[in-house]
């Protein structure tokens, strides 16, 4: 027989967002809090991120991924949050019942509040329709990171990395330190996809070439990857100019992340077309009452500190028990904006707006526009697609009239890395 449990809060996912959300809910007064994690240990992706660079904003010091995770694991141990690892969630109903399974059997949680903190997943070869044969030796960058840092296996001896996302840049350095020859990082866009600091520390410092406006046109090899054909592409991604062969036995894909939204779809939580995650307000409440989402399932953040920041707001909202009120403003991404969240503003008193630029810009200006008039702006010397723009909502004076707010990002086009 399934085990039935009444809960105030059920948090799905034990990565940085889930741990912070569960801890925050407890600190704000919730006493029947359950944290469900499908892996044997809490920490999520942080456990395989053994490089430093985490916690600079939140803790004011540089931590590795496992060290960052340990801060929250230790904090949770001082509470009575009930943590269930090796537990897989099968279903989340609109009435906030959560069906999960582990070695003890089937659990049915009847929750007052459900928090999705299930993170994101990597785009695969099939998703980008990479042509060529299907030999062994093709990995996503995150999979390769797990093999090297957790399992202790090298994916190959000579590698090419497609995509300049942060995991790809970090793995270029990691493989080099382990003796793998990294031929190049190949990026289809004219600009870097990851953080500038990772470009400097992982590629420049190790003299690894970055080929912008290039892509892999073909994978060669029958049993094992023997090489890839790369070539320059135009703004639409069409091949132009000469092609060349890069011999390798390994191809890593760092071609983007997408929110892990399957459970939300089954729960009929409305999703945002531009981000792939749910629509949320400044406290990361979804459009359906009783549901929240935080971290990379909302939209892919560039810093784990921002992931944690989003989760911590949920606990306060639950503790204040303000209920679910209609949004005063609907935020829409317009010129120069790839994605943004939150997309709804209910109070507008505090919180942050996160905006990802479509392209690199100098002398950039972020504008909030209502009924054709700009009512707030933020200027900065430079922005890049790999680094989010963060706007403090407490500094915004919102219009009296409710409605749609267009978010616009303009400036001089900038494609140089430095």
pLDDT digits (tens, 9 = 90+) for 121-134: 999 999 988 988 88
Grade residue 417 by pLDDT with cuts at 50, 70 and 90: low
Residue 23: the pLDDT is 97
* pLDDT above 80 for 323: no
pLDDT, mean of residues 100-112: 96
* pLDDT above 70 for 418: no
Determine contact, residues 256/81, Cβ cutoff 8 Å.
no
Phi, psi of 218 (to 5 degrees): -160, 145
Q: Which domains does the chain have, with CATH numbers?
A: 1-122+257-324 (3.50.50.60), 124-255 (3.50.50.60), 326-418 (2.60.40)
Residue 350: the pLDDT is 93
Grade residue 398 by pLDDT with cuts at 50, 70 and 90: very high
Residue 73: the pLDDT is 97
pLDDT, mean of residues 264-270: 93
Residue with tokens 């992706």: 45
* pLDDT above 80 for 69: yes
Residue 322: the pLDDT is 73
Q: For 205, how many CA atoms within 13 A lie in the half-sphere containing its CB?
A: 14
Phi, psi of 295 (to 5 degrees): 75, -155
Whole-angstrom Cα distance, residue 16 to residue 307? 7
Angle, helices 16-27/65-77, rounded to nearest 10 degrees: 30
pLDDT, mean of residues 405-410: 98
pLDDT, mean of residues 30-35: 96
Residue 139: the pLDDT is 97
* pLDDT above 90 for 399: yes
| Sign, CA torsion 383/45/167/223 | negative
Residue 319: the pLDDT is 85
């Amino acid at each position: 027989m399934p085990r039935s449990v009444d809960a105030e809060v059920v948090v799905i996912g034990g990565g940085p967002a889930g741990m912070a959300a569960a801890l925050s809910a407890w600190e704000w007064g919730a006493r029947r809090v359950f944290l469900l994690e499908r892996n044997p240990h809490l920490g999520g992706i942080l456990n395989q991120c053994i490089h430093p660079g985490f916690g600079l904003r939140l803790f004011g010091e540089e931590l590795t991924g496992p060290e960052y995770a340990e801060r929250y694991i230790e904090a949770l141990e001082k509470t009575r949050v009930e943590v269930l690892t090796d537990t897989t969630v099968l279903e989340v109903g609109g009435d906030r019942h959560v069906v999960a399974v582990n070695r003890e059997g089937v659990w049915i949680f009847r929750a007052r509040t459900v928090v999705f903190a299930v993170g994101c997943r990597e785009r695969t070869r099939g998703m980008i329709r990479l042509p060529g044969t299907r030999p062994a030796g093709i990995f996503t960058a995150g999979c390769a990171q797990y093999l090297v840092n957790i399992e202790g296996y090298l994916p190959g001896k000579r590698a090419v990395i497609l995509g300049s996302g942060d995991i790809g840049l970090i793995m270029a350095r990691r493989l080099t330190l382990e003796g793998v020859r990294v031929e190049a990082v190949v990026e289809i866009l004219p600009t870097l996809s990851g953080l500038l600091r990772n470009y400097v520390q992982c590629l420049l410092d190790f003299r690894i070439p970055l080929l912008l406006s290039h892509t892999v046109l073909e994978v060669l090899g029958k049993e094992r990857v023997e090489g890839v054909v790369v070539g320059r592409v135009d703004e639409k991604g069409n091949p132009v100019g000469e092609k060349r062969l890069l011999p390798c036995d390994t191809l890593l894909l760092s071609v983007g992340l997408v929110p892990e939204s399957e459970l939300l779809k089954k729960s009929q939580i409305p999703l945002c077309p531009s981000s792939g995650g749910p629509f949320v307000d400044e406290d990361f409440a979804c459009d359906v009452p009783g549901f929240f989402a935080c971290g990379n399932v909302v939209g892919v953040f560039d810093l784990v500190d921002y992931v944690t920041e989003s989760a911590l707001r949920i606990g306060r909202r639950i503790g204040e028990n303000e209920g679910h009120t209609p949004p005063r403003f609907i935020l829409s991404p317009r010129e120069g904006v790839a994605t943004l969240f939150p997309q709804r503003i209910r109070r507008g008193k505090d919180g942050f707006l996160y905006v990802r630029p479509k392209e690199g810009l100098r002398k950039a200006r972020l504008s909030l526009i209502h009924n054709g008039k700009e009512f707030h702006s933020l200027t900065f010397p430079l922005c890049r697609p790999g680094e989010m723009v963060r706007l403090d909502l407490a500094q915004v004076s919102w219009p009296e009239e409710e409605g749609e707010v267009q978010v616009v990002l303009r400036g001089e086009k900038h494609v140089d890395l430095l």
